[in-house]
Chains A and B, each alone.
Chain A
Amino acid sequence: MNNSKARVNAGSFRDRDGRVYEYQGRVFRGLSEAALQCFQQLQEKPFYKKLVESGKVVGSRELAAQENPLPDGLREQWAGFLEHDPVTVISYPYEWTFSMLRAAASLQLHLVERAVSNGFTLKDATPYNIQFVDRKPVFIDIPSFELLDEGEPWSGYRQFCEMFLFPLMLQAYKGSNFQPFMRAAIGGVDVQTAAALFGFRDRFRKGVFSHVWLQSKLDRRFGGSSENVRSSLKSAGFNRELILVNVRKMQKLVKKLEWKAAGSEWGDYTEFHNYSEDDHALKEKFIHDAISTETPQTVWDIGCNTGQFSRIAASGCKQVLSMDIDHVAVERLFLNPETPANILTLVQNVADPSPNWGWRNRERSDLQTRSRPDLVLCLALIHHVVITANIPLAEFIDWLAGLTDKLVIEYVSRQDDKVQTLLRNKEDKYQDYSRESIESNLKRHFDIRAQQDVNDGNRCLYLCVKSDNTNAVIGPA
Chain B
Amino acid sequence: MKIIITILLLLFFTDTEAYLDPGTGSMLLQVILGGVAAVGVAIKLYWHKLRVALGSGKKDTSENEQA
Q: Residues of A with Cβ closer than 8 Å to B?
A: 153-155, 157-158, 161, 191-192, 210-211, 214-233, 235-239, 241-243, 245-246, 249
List 8 A–B pairs whose Cβ atoms lie within 8 Å, in order of A's numbering. Answer: A153-B30, A155-B23, A215-B29, A223-B24, A224-B19, A227-B24, A233-B45, A243-B30
**Given A215-B25, A241-B37 in contact, is the A223-B19 Cβ separation under 8 Å?**
yes
Contact B62 A235 (CB under 8 A): yes
Contact A236 B41 (CB under 8 A): yes
Which of A221, A224, A242 is in CB contact (< 8 Å) with B38? A242
- Which of chain B's residues has its CB closest to A243's CB? B30
Interface residues on B, range: 35 or more
Contact A242 B31 (CB under 8 A): yes
- Which of chain B's residues has its CB closest to A238's CB? B41
**Given A232-B63, A237-B44 in contact, is the A191-B26 Cβ separation under 8 Å?**
yes
- Which of chain B's residues has its CB closest to A161's CB? B26
CB distance from A245 to the nearest CB of B (A): 5
Contact B45 A228 (CB under 8 A): no
Contact A228 B29 (CB under 8 A): no
* In the bound complex, CA of A238 to CA of B28 (Å): 11
CB distance from B23 to the nearest CB of A (A): 5
**Given A223-B24, A228-B63, A233-B41 in contact, is the A238-B29 Cβ separation under 8 Å?**
no
Chain A contacts for B34, CB-based, 8 A? 242, 245-246
Q: Residues of B with Cβ closer than 8 Å to A?
A: 5, 12-14, 16-35, 37-38, 40-42, 44-45, 48, 60, 62-64, 66-67
| In the A-B complex, the 6 residue pairs with the closest CB atoms | A218-B25, A224-B18, A231-B62, A158-B26, A219-B25, A236-B44
Chain A contacts for B5, CB-based, 8 A? 214
Contact A158 B22 (CB under 8 A): yes
Chain B contacts for A238, CB-based, 8 A? 30-31, 41
Contact A235 B60 (CB under 8 A): yes
* In the bound complex, CA of A416 to CA of B29 (Å): 58
Most chain A CB inside 10 Å of its own CB: which residue of B5, B31, B35: B31
CB distance from B57 to the nearest CB of A (A): 12
Which of A224, A229, A249 is in CB contact (< 8 Å) with B16? A224
CB distance from A279 to the nearest CB of B (A): 57
Chain B contacts for A158, CB-based, 8 A? 22-23, 26
Contact B35 A245 (CB under 8 A): yes
- Which of chain A's residues has its CB closest to B11's CB? A221
Contact A229 B24 (CB under 8 A): yes
* In the bound complex, CA of A210 to CA of B48 (Å): 25
**Given A223-B21, A237-B40 in contact, is the A210-B67 Cβ separation under 8 Å?**
no
- Which of chain B's residues has its CB closest to A237's CB? B41
Chain B contacts for A230, CB-based, 8 A? 27
Which of B25, B44, B62 is in CB contact (< 8 Å) with A222? B25
